[in-house]
Structure 1
Amino acid sequence: MRMTDRRLAIDAWESLFRAQHEVFEEISGDFGDGLSQGEYDVLLTVTRGADMTARLRDVTANMLISQPSVSRLVDRMAARGLISKCPDPEDGRGALVRATEQGAAAFRKVASLHGKAIAERMSLLSDEELTQLRDLTAKLRKTASDC
Protein backbone atom coordinates (compact mmCIF):
# COMPACT_ATOMS: atom_id res chain seq x y z
CA MET A 1 0.00 0.00 0.00
CA ARG A 2 1.38 3.42 -0.91
CA MET A 3 1.78 6.26 1.59
CA THR A 4 -1.02 8.81 1.62
CA ASP A 5 -0.83 12.35 2.94
CA ARG A 6 -2.46 11.86 6.35
CA ARG A 7 -3.96 15.37 6.63
CA LEU A 8 -5.38 15.18 3.12
CA ALA A 9 -6.83 11.75 3.85
CA ILE A 10 -8.51 13.05 7.02
CA ASP A 11 -9.84 16.14 5.22
CA ALA A 12 -11.23 14.00 2.38
CA TRP A 13 -12.82 11.57 4.85
CA GLU A 14 -14.43 14.37 6.86
CA SER A 15 -15.74 15.99 3.68
CA LEU A 16 -17.17 12.68 2.44
CA PHE A 17 -18.78 12.00 5.83
CA ARG A 18 -20.29 15.49 6.09
CA ALA A 19 -21.57 15.42 2.50
CA GLN A 20 -23.21 12.04 3.11
CA HIS A 21 -24.78 13.28 6.33
CA GLU A 22 -26.10 16.51 4.78
CA VAL A 23 -27.48 14.80 1.68
CA PHE A 24 -29.06 12.11 3.83
CA GLU A 25 -30.72 14.75 6.01
CA GLU A 26 -32.05 16.51 2.92
CA ILE A 27 -33.54 13.43 1.30
CA SER A 28 -34.74 11.69 4.48
CA GLY A 29 -38.04 13.52 4.02
CA ASP A 30 -38.73 11.14 1.13
CA PHE A 31 -39.56 8.47 3.72
CA GLY A 32 -42.29 8.31 6.28
CA ASP A 33 -45.26 8.38 3.93
CA GLY A 34 -46.00 4.68 4.09
CA LEU A 35 -42.42 3.33 4.15
CA SER A 36 -39.46 3.88 6.44
CA GLN A 37 -35.99 4.04 4.94
CA GLY A 38 -35.26 0.54 6.23
CA GLU A 39 -38.41 -0.83 4.62
CA TYR A 40 -37.49 0.96 1.38
CA ASP A 41 -34.02 -0.64 1.48
CA VAL A 42 -35.50 -4.12 1.96
CA LEU A 43 -37.93 -3.59 -0.91
CA LEU A 44 -35.15 -2.16 -3.11
CA THR A 45 -33.27 -5.46 -2.87
CA VAL A 46 -36.37 -7.63 -3.11
CA THR A 47 -37.95 -5.88 -6.11
CA ARG A 48 -34.70 -6.19 -8.07
CA GLY A 49 -34.81 -9.98 -7.77
CA ALA A 50 -36.52 -12.42 -10.09
CA ASP A 51 -40.24 -12.53 -9.28
CA MET A 52 -39.59 -9.69 -6.80
CA THR A 53 -37.93 -12.27 -4.52
CA ALA A 54 -34.59 -12.31 -2.71
CA ARG A 55 -32.87 -14.50 -0.17
CA LEU A 56 -32.99 -13.03 3.33
CA ARG A 57 -29.19 -13.25 3.52
CA ASP A 58 -28.94 -11.06 0.38
CA VAL A 59 -31.29 -8.51 1.93
CA THR A 60 -29.17 -8.52 5.08
CA ALA A 61 -25.95 -8.07 3.08
CA ASN A 62 -27.35 -4.90 1.48
CA MET A 63 -28.49 -3.33 4.74
CA LEU A 64 -26.53 -1.11 7.10
CA ILE A 65 -28.05 -2.70 10.20
CA SER A 66 -27.36 -5.98 12.02
CA GLN A 67 -28.80 -9.32 10.96
CA PRO A 68 -31.14 -9.56 13.98
CA SER A 69 -32.43 -6.05 13.22
CA VAL A 70 -33.05 -7.00 9.58
CA SER A 71 -34.92 -10.13 10.68
CA ARG A 72 -37.16 -8.10 13.00
CA LEU A 73 -37.76 -5.50 10.26
CA VAL A 74 -38.67 -8.22 7.74
CA ASP A 75 -41.08 -9.78 10.24
CA ARG A 76 -42.76 -6.39 10.85
CA MET A 77 -43.01 -5.83 7.08
CA ALA A 78 -44.58 -9.26 6.62
CA ALA A 79 -47.11 -8.44 9.36
CA ARG A 80 -47.95 -5.21 7.50
CA GLY A 81 -48.47 -7.12 4.24
CA LEU A 82 -45.55 -5.50 2.41
CA ILE A 83 -43.65 -8.74 1.90
CA SER A 84 -44.07 -12.45 2.40
CA LYS A 85 -41.44 -14.69 3.94
CA CYS A 86 -41.08 -18.42 3.42
CA PRO A 87 -38.40 -21.10 3.81
CA ASP A 88 -35.76 -21.22 1.06
CA PRO A 89 -36.12 -24.63 -0.65
CA GLU A 90 -32.41 -24.51 -1.60
CA ASP A 91 -31.19 -23.60 1.89
CA GLY A 92 -32.96 -25.22 4.81
CA ARG A 93 -31.72 -22.55 7.23
CA GLY A 94 -32.53 -19.62 4.97
CA ALA A 95 -35.64 -17.75 3.94
CA LEU A 96 -36.98 -16.13 0.80
CA VAL A 97 -38.55 -12.71 0.95
CA ARG A 98 -41.02 -11.63 -1.73
CA ALA A 99 -42.67 -8.25 -2.28
CA THR A 100 -46.45 -8.33 -2.21
CA GLU A 101 -48.47 -6.20 -4.61
CA GLN A 102 -49.02 -3.75 -1.73
CA GLY A 103 -45.29 -3.66 -0.96
CA ALA A 104 -44.29 -3.23 -4.61
CA ALA A 105 -46.80 -0.39 -5.06
CA ALA A 106 -45.58 1.38 -1.91
CA PHE A 107 -41.98 0.94 -3.09
CA ARG A 108 -42.72 2.36 -6.57
CA LYS A 109 -44.43 5.39 -5.05
CA VAL A 110 -41.52 6.24 -2.75
CA ALA A 111 -38.86 5.26 -5.33
CA SER A 112 -40.24 7.77 -7.81
CA LEU A 113 -40.07 10.64 -5.32
CA HIS A 114 -36.76 9.49 -3.85
CA GLY A 115 -35.14 9.08 -7.26
CA LYS A 116 -36.25 12.58 -8.25
CA ALA A 117 -34.86 14.08 -5.01
CA ILE A 118 -31.53 12.28 -5.48
CA ALA A 119 -31.26 13.38 -9.12
CA GLU A 120 -31.99 16.99 -8.17
CA ARG A 121 -29.41 16.97 -5.36
CA MET A 122 -26.79 15.26 -7.51
CA SER A 123 -27.40 17.62 -10.45
CA LEU A 124 -24.73 19.84 -8.89
CA LEU A 125 -22.26 17.39 -10.41
CA SER A 126 -21.59 16.74 -14.07
CA ASP A 127 -22.05 13.25 -15.52
CA GLU A 128 -18.25 12.89 -15.52
CA GLU A 129 -18.08 13.87 -11.82
CA LEU A 130 -20.93 11.48 -10.97
CA THR A 131 -19.04 8.67 -12.71
CA GLN A 132 -15.88 9.56 -10.78
CA LEU A 133 -17.80 9.69 -7.50
CA ARG A 134 -19.40 6.31 -8.16
CA ASP A 135 -16.08 4.75 -9.11
CA LEU A 136 -14.18 6.26 -6.16
CA THR A 137 -16.76 5.20 -3.59
CA ALA A 138 -16.87 1.70 -5.13
CA LYS A 139 -13.07 1.57 -4.79
CA LEU A 140 -13.31 2.58 -1.11
CA ARG A 141 -16.00 -0.04 -0.49
CA LYS A 142 -13.99 -2.76 -2.24
CA THR A 143 -10.89 -1.91 -0.22
CA ALA A 144 -12.89 -2.02 3.02
CA SER A 145 -14.40 -5.41 2.16
CA ASP A 146 -10.94 -6.81 1.31
CA CYS A 147 -9.64 -6.10 4.83
Structure 2
Amino acid sequence: MTDRRLAIDAWESLFRAQHEVLAEISADFDSGVLSQAEYDVLLTVTRAPDMTARLRDVTANMLISQPSVSRLIDRMAVAGLIVKAADPEDGRGALVQATPEGARRFRALASQHGRAIAERMAVLDDGELAQLRDLTAKLRSPREEGD
Protein backbone atom coordinates (compact mmCIF):
# COMPACT_ATOMS: atom_id res chain seq x y z
CA MET A 1 0.00 0.00 0.00
CA THR A 2 1.23 3.49 -0.86
CA ASP A 3 2.42 5.71 1.99
CA ARG A 4 -0.14 8.53 1.99
CA ARG A 5 2.24 11.21 3.35
CA LEU A 6 4.93 10.28 0.84
CA ALA A 7 2.37 10.38 -1.99
CA ILE A 8 1.29 13.88 -0.94
CA ASP A 9 4.91 15.05 -0.62
CA ALA A 10 5.76 13.63 -4.06
CA TRP A 11 2.69 15.27 -5.61
CA GLU A 12 3.52 18.64 -4.05
CA SER A 13 7.11 18.42 -5.25
CA LEU A 14 5.99 17.48 -8.79
CA PHE A 15 3.43 20.29 -8.84
CA ARG A 16 5.90 22.93 -7.60
CA ALA A 17 8.63 21.78 -10.00
CA GLN A 18 6.21 21.92 -12.93
CA HIS A 19 5.02 25.39 -11.92
CA GLU A 20 8.54 26.79 -11.48
CA VAL A 21 9.99 25.25 -14.66
CA LEU A 22 6.98 26.32 -16.74
CA ALA A 23 7.20 29.88 -15.42
CA GLU A 24 10.88 30.00 -16.39
CA ILE A 25 10.55 28.60 -19.91
CA SER A 26 7.33 30.50 -20.66
CA ALA A 27 9.44 33.61 -21.14
CA ASP A 28 10.09 32.28 -24.67
CA PHE A 29 6.57 33.43 -25.58
CA ASP A 30 7.07 37.05 -24.46
CA SER A 31 8.34 38.05 -27.92
CA GLY A 32 4.85 37.88 -29.41
CA VAL A 33 5.92 35.60 -32.30
CA LEU A 34 3.32 33.06 -31.10
CA SER A 35 1.33 32.61 -27.93
CA GLN A 36 1.90 29.43 -25.97
CA ALA A 37 -1.50 28.11 -27.09
CA GLU A 38 -0.70 28.87 -30.76
CA TYR A 39 2.65 27.12 -30.34
CA ASP A 40 0.89 24.05 -28.91
CA VAL A 41 -1.49 23.91 -31.89
CA LEU A 42 1.37 24.26 -34.37
CA LEU A 43 3.43 21.65 -32.49
CA THR A 44 0.74 19.06 -33.18
CA VAL A 45 0.05 20.22 -36.72
CA THR A 46 3.67 20.49 -37.89
CA ARG A 47 4.47 16.99 -36.58
CA ALA A 48 1.66 15.47 -38.66
CA PRO A 49 2.15 14.30 -42.26
CA ASP A 50 1.93 17.24 -44.68
CA MET A 51 1.67 19.50 -41.60
CA THR A 52 -2.04 18.60 -41.47
CA ALA A 53 -3.83 17.20 -38.43
CA ARG A 54 -7.43 16.43 -37.56
CA LEU A 55 -8.98 19.05 -35.34
CA ARG A 56 -9.92 16.34 -32.82
CA ASP A 57 -6.22 15.36 -32.55
CA VAL A 58 -5.23 18.97 -31.94
CA THR A 59 -7.94 19.25 -29.28
CA ALA A 60 -6.80 16.02 -27.61
CA ASN A 61 -3.28 17.42 -27.20
CA MET A 62 -4.39 20.75 -25.74
CA LEU A 63 -4.97 21.48 -22.07
CA ILE A 64 -7.97 23.71 -22.79
CA SER A 65 -11.61 22.94 -23.58
CA GLN A 66 -12.84 21.99 -27.05
CA PRO A 67 -14.76 25.29 -27.50
CA SER A 68 -11.61 27.22 -26.54
CA VAL A 69 -9.56 25.24 -29.06
CA SER A 70 -12.14 25.95 -31.77
CA ARG A 71 -12.01 29.69 -31.08
CA LEU A 72 -8.19 29.60 -31.04
CA ILE A 73 -8.12 27.74 -34.37
CA ASP A 74 -10.47 30.33 -35.89
CA ARG A 75 -8.25 33.20 -34.68
CA MET A 76 -5.13 31.46 -36.01
CA ALA A 77 -6.81 31.00 -39.40
CA VAL A 78 -7.67 34.72 -39.54
CA ALA A 79 -4.04 35.50 -38.63
CA GLY A 80 -2.80 33.33 -41.53
CA LEU A 81 -1.04 30.75 -39.33
CA ILE A 82 -3.23 27.79 -40.31
CA VAL A 83 -5.98 26.83 -42.71
CA LYS A 84 -9.00 24.86 -41.63
CA ALA A 85 -10.93 22.65 -44.04
CA ALA A 86 -13.55 19.93 -43.94
CA ASP A 87 -12.16 16.44 -43.43
CA PRO A 88 -13.01 14.49 -46.61
CA GLU A 89 -12.92 11.22 -44.61
CA ASP A 90 -15.18 12.48 -41.81
CA GLY A 91 -17.97 14.87 -42.77
CA ARG A 92 -18.30 16.10 -39.18
CA GLY A 93 -14.58 16.65 -38.69
CA ALA A 94 -12.09 19.26 -39.78
CA LEU A 95 -8.46 19.29 -40.86
CA VAL A 96 -6.01 21.93 -39.71
CA GLN A 97 -2.92 22.67 -41.79
CA ALA A 98 -0.02 24.98 -41.01
CA THR A 99 0.54 27.73 -43.55
CA PRO A 100 4.11 28.50 -44.63
CA GLU A 101 4.01 31.54 -42.30
CA GLY A 102 2.69 29.46 -39.40
CA ALA A 103 5.38 26.83 -39.96
CA ARG A 104 8.09 29.50 -40.22
CA ARG A 105 7.04 31.13 -36.95
CA PHE A 106 6.77 27.76 -35.25
CA ARG A 107 10.26 26.67 -36.37
CA ALA A 108 11.82 29.95 -35.24
CA LEU A 109 10.27 29.73 -31.80
CA ALA A 110 10.69 25.95 -31.46
CA SER A 111 14.44 26.23 -31.84
CA GLN A 112 14.68 28.85 -29.09
CA HIS A 113 12.16 27.08 -26.85
CA GLY A 114 13.90 23.72 -27.28
CA ARG A 115 17.20 25.26 -26.18
CA ALA A 116 15.54 26.81 -23.11
CA ILE A 117 13.96 23.47 -22.15
CA ALA A 118 17.24 21.57 -22.64
CA GLU A 119 19.17 24.14 -20.58
CA ARG A 120 16.61 24.03 -17.74
CA MET A 121 16.47 20.23 -17.75
CA ALA A 122 20.30 19.93 -17.82
CA VAL A 123 20.29 19.57 -14.02
CA LEU A 124 19.27 15.95 -14.75
CA ASP A 125 21.49 13.43 -16.56
CA ASP A 126 20.16 11.36 -19.46
CA GLY A 127 19.22 8.44 -17.21
CA GLU A 128 17.28 10.73 -14.87
CA LEU A 129 15.53 12.38 -17.82
CA ALA A 130 14.48 8.97 -19.15
CA GLN A 131 13.27 7.98 -15.67
CA LEU A 132 11.32 11.24 -15.32
CA ARG A 133 9.74 10.71 -18.74
CA ASP A 134 8.77 7.15 -17.87
CA LEU A 135 7.41 8.04 -14.43
CA THR A 136 5.28 10.90 -15.71
CA ALA A 137 3.97 8.69 -18.54
CA LYS A 138 3.00 6.13 -15.92
CA LEU A 139 1.15 8.82 -13.95
CA ARG A 140 -0.71 9.90 -17.10
CA SER A 141 -1.83 6.43 -18.15
CA PRO A 142 -5.14 5.02 -16.94
CA ARG A 143 -4.97 2.88 -13.84
CA GLU A 144 -5.28 -0.85 -14.26
CA GLU A 145 -8.23 -2.65 -12.63
CA GLY A 146 -7.34 -3.60 -9.09
CA ASP A 147 -4.79 -0.80 -8.56
TM-score tier (shorter): over 0.9
Residue ranges of structure 2 left out of the alignment (5+ in a row):
none
Match of 2:9 in 1: 11
Match of 1:37 in 2: 36
> Is residue 2:33 matched to residue 1:28?
no
Q: Distance in 1 between matches of 2:49 and 2:126?
A: 30
TM-score by length of 1: 0.95
Q: Distance in 2 between matches of 1:38 and 1:23?
A: 17
Q: Distance in 2 between matches of 1:23 and 1:66?
A: 23
**Residue 101 (structure 1) shift:** 0.3
**Residue 144 (structure 1) shift:** 6.1
| Pairs within 5 Å for 1:1-147 | 3-33=1-31, 34-143=33-142
- Matched-pair identity in %: 76
Q: Which amino acid aligns with 2:43?
A: L
Q: Distance in 2 between matches of 1:30 and 1:22?
A: 14
Q: Distance in 1 between matches of 2:91 and 2:39?
A: 27
Q: Which amino acid aligns with 1:126?
A: D
Pick closer, same or farther for the CA change 1:122–1:66 going to 2, 3 Å. same
Q: Distance in 2 between matches of 1:32 and 1:120?
A: 18
TM-score by length of 2: 0.95
Pick closer, same or farther for the CA change 1:73–1:145 going to 2, 3 Å. farther
Pick closer, same or farther for the CA change 1:18–1:68 going to 2, 3 Å. same
Q: CA RMSD in A?
A: 1.3
Runs ≥4 residues deviating over 4 A: none
**Residue 32 (structure 1) shift:** 3.4
